[in-house]
Amino acid sequence: MAFKSKIKWVALFALTLSLASLVAHLSMTKFSSMNLVQYSAKEALSHDFPNSGSPLKTRRNKRLWGAVRSLESLQPHANPRSSYPVPDENTNGFIYAKIFGGFEKIRSSICDLVTISRLLNATLVIPEIQQSTRSKGVSYKFKSFSYLYDEEQFIMLLKNDVNIVKSLPEYLKAARRRSEFPTFKPKNSASPNFYVKEVLPNLRKAKVVGLIVTGGGCLKSILPPSMSEFQRLRCRVAFHALQFRPEIQILGLRMVERLRASGQPFLAYHPGLVRDTLAYHGCAELFQDVHTELIQYRRAQLIKQGIINDELSVDSHSRRENGSCPLMPEEVGLLLRALGYPSKTIIYLAGSKTFGGQRLLSPLRALFGNLVDRTTLCSKTELSDLVGPEAPLPADIFRLPLPKREQQLIDQWKKAGPRPRPLPPPPDRPIYQHEKEGWYAWILEKDKEPDPSPMEHRMQAHRLIWDALDYIVSVEADALFPGFNNDGSGWPDFSGLVIGQRLYERASSRTYRSDRKTIAALFNITRDEMYHPKRDWMLSVKEHLNRSLSEDGFFRQSLLSKPNSFLSHPLPECSCRIPSVETTKQIKGKDGRIVFGGEEECPKWMELARAEGARNDDMESAEDDNDTVEQLEPDAVDATSSLTSLIDHDEEWDPND
């Protein structure tokens, strides 16, 4: 009896202890949840680079961040070369346009529309960007064009090239609503002759012509040498007149300042993992589960629309070896480590949407801890201020089917057949709200992809702003590594536009233009030992990527990218060359077109300004070096140099070295 009472007391004590422990844990959870702090890239970078606030300037490793010397003589020069009259006020009529597509298609299409307006001597109405119209749920503060770009700057900076108005005159608006004006849907490979012979007569007759642009452009990329002035007009539009609205521009430059606040250079990386391009090239097998199904569904749609003339199921691995599929983030991380970039390198992840999500980015984040994007550099308030005040959208509430009446259940029971009857199947599990959220939720319910919801339309408009921020940061980056450019789809791509602007503004900036076919062959050699490669493999990677920085990559970019998008390689039309001691050899393509070395000589004023700027830079760098050596003690200099060599060498990464 005494034994049983002891057991009761022990059980009571254990129960009391468990209850006290539960109360303590609940209290800790309540108070700790009040002090959760969002991850801040600024604090993380300051932790990795504690001396960022010191006056001592960081010495850059020229092997990783230095300019490409063979391209330093190239300078931006998009001004007209010959007689270039100001547009006449009495034009042949008005051209209005609707642009469909994402950020890169919009940017390329606007440049083509301005060029066509100049060609036809027409007045251009500010184009309508369909992804940011009021019907898509954007803020009432903006029109479609002004949601992304600065209208006033666009009109003012092109006043000597094209007449631009914000809207059609009032007496023509009603006729447009009645669809009385001829409308054309040109391809992105349309020639100038198409506009002169087909569009111009209709423009002169009706005084108004509409263009519907869907393919990321409406004028062929490569024009005859006699039309070089129109190519330079494209450059003036893309690199000068198309300025983002001030709020986007300010936040983008603020992001660049935050990335450089630690005193370290940073590299921009755009994965290029977009569902449409992955479906176009048949890269579904490189993904898993629901992502493979989504790519295949989209590929079936493209085949049905006639965009793809190929089979639905293809060997994705052979496409990858052919260079038609993107480099995965894990592969890019291994390539950067092979080049010698230390694990603390700051990498900015561009792209408003990465198909595959964080699962694909995890290996890259494990290799480079300072992988940041706009969400870690900006607060939620800063990002929400860009989109402006928006009207609330109707809630998309999932409703269960109505329950059956009792009489219906009785009738079903009577019609069920002779007894004994098997038990009825269990009812379908309802799809809960949290499962309906996300771009893949429809696959849980039906086989056909539904039309985008109002919230999805709004998110697509928001992505234009996020892409604009990424564009600003990528252009200003100290180095750029594109994951998927020159894909051969014929559509302009984000990385290609960034490469083109960097090439125009600073041709010598460090931009890797890798050959994905060569990279795939290199990875096939060491697929089983990717994280422990041999020295010969690393040397091969370094040689290929370093050669892609200069003439070799330059030549490939011109052959592969320029036929699809002039803005991805605006040379030699939009540049000039300052004479240097080294002679530049001309490189011609298969069609006889000069792709490198055919630039004109820069004007004298540009040469003098560049020489003066270079002299000042040399003096400042010499003073900085002297100050650095004076401020450091001898022991500190030795410690700094040894640490730098240790980071660059990275013995843990290369055990065979």
Buried/exposed code over 264-287 (b: 16+ C-beta within 10 A; e: otherwise):
bbbbbbbbbbbbbbbbbbbbbbbb
Query: What mean pLDDT comes out for the span 253-272?
Result: 93
Average pLDDT over residues 143-153: 92
Question: Considering only 55-59, 427-431, 494-498, 594-598, which range has the smallest mean pLDDT?
Answer: 55-59
Cβ 108 vs Cβ 565: under 8 Å:
yes
Query: What tens digit of pLDDT does each residue of 286-326 get?
Result: 887 778 888 888 888 888 888 888 888 888 888 888 888 89
pLDDT at 52 over 70: no
Q: Are strands 479-482 and 510-511 parallel, antiparallel or unpaired?
A: parallel
What pLDDT score was predicted for residue 648? 39
| Confidence at 96, pLDDT banded by 50, 70, 90 | very high
Please report, for the domain that includes residue 141, its CATH number: 3.40.50
pLDDT tens for 1-28 read: 555 677 878 788 888 888 888 888 777 7
According to the model, what pLDDT value does residue 412 have? 79
Q: Is residue 137 part of a domain?
A: yes
Across the range 595-619, mean pLDDT stands at 65
> Is residue 484 in a domain?
yes
Q: What mean pLDDT do residues 76-91 have?
A: 87
Write down the pLDDT at residue 654: 40
Question: What pLDDT does residue 511 have?
Answer: 93
| Mean pLDDT confidence for 137-158 | 90
517 near 317, Cβ under 8 Å?
no
Instruction: Tell whether the model's pLDDT for residue 37 goes beyond 70.
Output: no
Question: Is 29 part of a structural domain of the chain?
Answer: no
Lowest mean pLDDT among 69-73, 333-337, 501-505, 613-617: 613-617
Identify the pLDDT of residue 429: 57
Average pLDDT over residues 249-271: 94
Residue 45 has pLDDT above 50, yes or no: yes
Last residue in a domain, options 199, 224, 243: 243
* Arithmetic mean of pLDDT over the chain: 81
The alpha-helical segments, DSSP class H, found in 322-446 are 329-339, 358-367, 374-377, 380-387, 406-414, 433-436
User: Which pLDDT belongs to residue 620?
Assistant: 47
The pLDDT of residue 634: 37
Long-range residue pairs from 133-136, CB within 8 A, at least 24 positions apart, any chain: 135/457, 136/457, 136/458, 136/460, 136/461
Asked if residue 184 is part of any domain, the answer here is yes
What is the rounded CA–CA span in Å between residue 497 and residue 494? 5
Residue 298 in any domain: the answer is no
Residue 606 has pLDDT above 60, yes or no: yes
Q: Is the peptide bond before 76 cis (omega within 30 degrees of 0)?
A: no
Separation CA 442–CA 83 (nearest Å): 58
Contacts of 74 (CB under 8 A, 6+ apart): 507, 508, 571, 575, 576, 577, 599
Instruction: Verify that 476 and 581 share a domain, yes or no.
Output: no
Same domain, 100 and 120: yes
Same structural domain, 119 and 225: yes
Dig out the tokens for 474 from the structure. 């990528």
| Cα atoms in the Cβ-side hemisphere of radius 13 Å centred on 419 | 2
Identify whether residues 330 and 372 lie together within a single domain: yes
503-537 pLDDT, tens digit each: 999 988 999 999 999 999 999 888 888 888 888 99
Per-residue pLDDT band for 430 (boundaries 50, 70, 90) equals low
548 and 488, same domain (yes or no): yes
Residue 580 shares a structural domain with residue 569: no
Whether pLDDT at 135 is above 60: yes
> How high is the pLDDT of residue 635?
36
What is the model's pLDDT at position 623? 45
Tell whether 558 and 499 lie within a shared domain. yes
Instruction: State residue 251's pLDDT score.
Output: 95
Distance of CA 575 to the CA centre of its chain: 25
Q: Are residues 227 and 338 in the same domain?
A: no
In DSSP terms, 149 is beta-bridged to 244
Tracing tokens 């002759």 back to the chain, one arrives at: 193
**C-alpha to C-alpha distances, 486 to 248, 325, 499, nearest whole angstrom:** 28, 11, 11
Question: Are both 140 and 186 inside the same structural domain?
Answer: yes
CA distance 278 to 299: 8
646 lies in a domain?
no
What pLDDT score was predicted for residue 183?
Answer: 93
Question: Is residue 22 situated within a structural domain?
Answer: no
133 lies in the same domain as 187: yes
- Checking if the pLDDT of 266 tops 80, the result is yes
Q: Which of 41-45, 105-109, 503-507 has the lowest mean pLDDT?
A: 41-45
Q: Is the pTM of this model over 0.75?
A: yes
Phi, psi of 192 (to 5 degrees): -60, -35
Give the confidence band of 267 by pLDDT, cuts at 50, 70, 90.
very high
pLDDT at 36: 44
The first and second tokens of residue 644, run together, are 């730098």
Distance CA 554, CA 21 (A): 66
Would you state the structure tokens that stand for residue 544, as one six-digit string? 């290929």
Question: Is the predicted pLDDT of residue 197 greater than 90, yes or no?
Answer: yes
**pLDDT tens digit sequence for 214-233:** 988 999 999 998 899 999 99
Residue 470 has pLDDT above 90, yes or no: yes
Q: Do 364 and 335 form a contact (C-beta atoms < 8 A)?
A: no
- Residue 480's DSSP bridge partners are 268, 511
Verify that 512 and 548 share a domain, yes or no: yes
Question: 132 or 478: whose pLDDT is higher?
Answer: 478
Residue keyed to tokens 């200003």:
476
Torsion-angle region of residue 29: left (phi > 0), alpha (psi -120 to 50) or beta? Answer: alpha
User: How many structural domains does the chain have?
Assistant: 3
CB 325 within 8 A of CB 316: yes
The pLDDT of residue 209: 95
Distance CA 266, CA 256 (A): 9
DSSP-H helix ranges across 481-603: 494-505, 516-525, 535-548, 551-560
Residue 41 has pLDDT above 90, yes or no: no
DSSP state of 568: G
Confidence of residue 610 (pLDDT cuts 50, 70, 90): low
Is residue 125 helix, strand or coil? strand
Rounded Cα distance, 122 and 514, in Å: 41
Angle at 366 between CA 362 and CA 371, to 5 degrees: 80
Beta strands in 507-651 (DSSP E): 510-511, 575-577, 587-588, 594-596, 600-601
Q: Point out the least confidently predicted range of 111-115, 294-298, 343-347, 549-553.
A: 549-553
pLDDT in tens, 351-404: 878 888 788 899 999 999 999 999 999 999 999 999 888 888 776 555 556 777
What 3-state class would DSSP assign to 333? helix
Domain that holds residue 338: 248-273+326-386+456-573
Do 590 and 537 lie in one domain? The reply is no
Higher pLDDT, 487 or 401: 487
Domain assignment present for 30: no
